[in-house]
Structure 1
C-alpha cells in the first residue's frame, strides 16, 4: 500500500467515526427538539414564533438524518475523500516542478543581516524603499536561475530549486548584485545571509515543510553577511562539479538537530556568463576554396 493510499484509508476511518458520532448527535438533537416543541405547546400555546423556530429546527434535523439514511455515510465522506485526493495530487504536482531526478528539492533561505537595527536607524519609510530594491534584485536573480519563491519573510526569502547548482549560482549572484548595486542599495549597503540544503520535502497549499526545510533555515542562521553556507549533503551533490569552490568546513550545532553538523562556505563560483555567450554565438562555416 502506497503512502497516499494509507493516508486516504486512515482519513476514511476517521471521517466514518466522526460521522457516526454526528448521526448519534442528530438523533439526540431531534428528540430534544420534539420534546421542546411539545413543552412549548403545553406551556406557551400563544407563542407561534417559538413554535415556528422549533419546527424549522426539527425539519433541519429530520432532513439531515433522512439524507444519511437514503444515501448512506459514503455520500457524506465522498466529498472529503475527493478533497484529500485533490490535495495529494496538487502536492505531488507542486513538488514535481522543483524535484531533481533523485527525488530531492534544494531549499534556499536568505535574510538581511542586521535588518532590525537598520530599520530603526533608517525609519520605516526609508527601510521599505530599501527593502523593495533588495526584493527586486533578488527576485530577478531567482527567476533567472529557475528558482521558485515559496514565500517572502519580511527581509528575506524561502526559495526552492530543482538543481543545487542553480541555488548556489543564485546566492552568489545576489551577493554580487548587492555589492555592485546603485541607488538606495549603494547609499545604504546591505548584505544577506544565505543557507542552502537539499532533501525530500512535503508540500501543501503552495508551501513546503519537513525536516529538510527546517535544516536549510538553520544553516542560513549560521551564515554571516555576504556568505552562502551549504549543508554537507548539498556539497556532496556537487563534488563532481568544477564550478564551485568551498572553503574549509565548519562544525555547528543546529537547534533541533542532534549532534554537530558539517557546513561549507561557498568560496567561489565560476562565472558562466562568458560560456553562455559563446554557446549563443552562431557558428560560421569556413569559405570553400575554389
Structure 2
C-alpha cells in the first residue's frame, strides 16, 4: 500500500506539473500575441493617409504564427524556465528591426523612392557567352551595382537574376546611385566593358505598402514598368519623380516621352536623366 500510495502521489504531482506548464504556456503565448498585435498596430505601413491597410486579421495572423513558432522553439531549446523568464522584447525584436528598416527608406512625406534595374538583352548575352562566362559577368555586375547603391544609401529589397529592386529615402540619392551605376559600368576595365553590359534603370517615387521586408502597391508596379521602358545605359524616371526634383540643378531631364504602361489606363510621361553639365 505504501508503494502504491507513493506512485499515486507522484502521478498526481506530475499531472499538476503538466497543468502548470500548460497554463504558463497559454499565458505566455497570450501575452506574445497581444504584444505582437499591439506592435503591428504601431508598425509603419508606408502609405498615404487615404490608402487602406491590409486586413487586420491577416496582419495579426501572420505575426501571431511567428510569435508561436519562436515561443515553441525557445521551449524546445531551453525548457520551461527559460520560457517563463524570457522577455517579450526578445520575442518581438524581429518586428522592431523590420519597422526600423522601413523607416530608413521613408521620406517625411510618407513616400519611398524605388529603383528597378536589369541587363538589356541578358538572355542573348548568356547564350553568346555560355553559362560559366555569363555567371562571371553577372557577378561583376552585382558588385558594381551594390557598391553604387551602398554609397548612395540605398537598400536592396530583392534581386532576381540580373534584376535589382532598391529603395531610397530621398529621390536625389536614387538618381545619384543610378547615374553612378551607369558611369561605373561604362568605365569598368574588366568583363563588363569587354562584353558591353548595358543596364536599364527606372526610378519612381510614391506611397507604398511595406510588409515582411518587401514593398507592394500601385507605385511599385509603376516603377517596374518605368524600368521596362528604359534602354540599355539609360536612366528613366516618372513624371512624379521629376516634379519632386524640378528645382534641382544637379540633374538634367533632357528627353520626355509619352507612353502607355502595361496595366495602367493613364498615359505616363517618362523622362531621361543625365547629370548636370558640371558633373559630366
Q: Give how far 1:96 is off.
A: 1.0
What's the counterpart of residue 270 of structure 1?
276
Residue 197 of structure 2 corresponds to residue 194 of structure 1: no
* Structure exhibiting the larger radius of gyration computed from Cα positions: 1
Number of residues paired by the alignment?
Answer: 210
Ranges in structure 1 where 5+ consecutive residues have no aligned partner: 1-58, 275-290
Task: Look up the SS of the partner of 1:249 in the other structure.
Answer: strand
Aligned pair 1:251/2:258, yes or no?
yes
Deviation at 1:251, TM superposition (A): 1.2
Q: How does 1:34-183 map to 2 (within 5 A)?
A: 78-86=31-39, 88=43, 89-183=96-190
Query: Residues 94 and 203 of structure 1 are in contact (CA less than 8 Å); yes or no, is this contact kept in structure 2?
Result: no
SS in 1 for 2:165: strand
State whether residues 111 and 157 of structure 1, in contact with CA within 8 Å, keep that contact through their aligned partners in structure 2.
yes
- Structure 1 segments (4+ residues) deviating >6 Å: 271-274
For the structure 1 residues 164 and 190, does the alpha-carbon distance in structure 2 shift closer, same or farther, using more than 3 Å as the test?
same
In 2 relative to 1, CA 123–259 (structure 1 residues): closer, same or farther, beyond 3 Å?
Answer: same
Tell me, in whole angstroms, the C-alpha distance in 1 between the residues paired with 2:211 and 2:175: 25
Shift of 1:270: 2.8
* Post-superposition offset of 1:109: 0.3
1:77 and 1:116 mapped to 2: Cα distance? 52
CA RMSD in angstroms, aligned pairs only: 2.7
- Normalising by structure 2, we get a TM-score of 0.67
| Partners of 1:92 and 1:203 within 8 A in 2 | no
Structure 2 CA distance, aligned partners of 1:75 and 1:134? 48
In the aligned structure 1, how far is the partner of 2:249 from the partner of 2:279?
A: 15
State the partner residue of 2:213: 206
**Looking at both structures, which has the greater relative contact order when contacts are Cα pairs under 8 Å and sequence separation is at least 6?**
2
One of 213, 217, 230 as aligned partner of 2:237 = 230
Q: Deviation at 1:247?
A: 2.1
TM-score for the superposition, normalised by structure 1: 0.65
